[in-house]
Amino acid sequence: MTSLPQDSGIAFLASGSRGNAALIYDGGRGVLVDCGLSAREARRRIDDAGLSDVRIEALVVTHEHSDHVAGVRVLSRAIGAPVYATRATLARMDAHLVDVPDVCVIRPGETLALATFSVVAFRTSHDAADPVGYVFEDTRGRRIGIMTDTGVLTEEIAEAIAGCDVLGIEANHDYDMLENGPYPGFLKQRIRSDRGHLSNRSAGDALERLASDRLHTIVGLHLSEQNNHPRLARASLGAASRSLGLSAEVHVASQRTPLVCAIVNAR
């Protein structure tokens, strides 16, 4: 998939346990969600996505785990962009905020104006201080939702993220691969708990509550390299989409290469 900086869309720069970052852009202005890559690698992938001309005006953080914040400090300082996160998340980030030019608290349920977007954070269910996902709405009312690192679809999530044009949804593991894989029992329990990660099956089930006629792109996020396979995640999300009568494109974000998804629906 390709796009141009003047379009609205999202580039999933990396997604997985070794680093996460996504650039939401519109009209040459953008917001970065997480930076679990090095700043240099994040910028290289932005270039690879054809979005080097996008001016990043803010970094928003989902939670404090290193695969989401490792590059935040260096990138924020390099481009002079403020960092937004919940108060509890900011309190846990410590070294990742040293000499950051501006740090701002984002409160779930409140609307912020960042770049050209209205941005709302919503709480997710994960073993972090105060994890959130985000919904971005552009000036034409088109919506991009990101729900990653959550063990369950809560009412708050469902209400916040329903009615998106582009939806990034966690599809971390295949249940059988996790159960039969090499992870120790305590780690398997953590992953499948309500504060862990959604399985392919759970992500497919969640679509029933999140889908609408306007949903044209579904992207599986945070796939485990040990306990999942892109083919399995894509099949699960695709089957759920078809059962709902949707004509949405289904993709999975990669740990290694960017995936660019434009908002193609006119609103």
State pLDDT tens for residues 52-82: 999 999 999 999 999 999 999 999 999 999 9
The identity of residue 267, as a single letter, is R
State pLDDT tens for residues 167-196: 999 999 999 999 999 999 999 999 999 999
With cut-offs at 50, 70 and 90, classify the pLDDT of residue 209. very high
Look at residue 20 and tell me whether its pLDDT is greater than 50.
yes
Look at residue 25 and tell me whether its pLDDT is greater than 90.
yes
Cβ atoms 250, 200 nearer than 8 A: no
Q: Give the pTM.
A: 0.95
Domains in the chain, please, with CATH?
9-262 (3.60.15.10)
Write the CB contacts of 226 (distance below 8 Å, at least 6 apart in sequence): 177, 181, 182, 183
The pLDDT, as a whole number, for residue 7 is 77
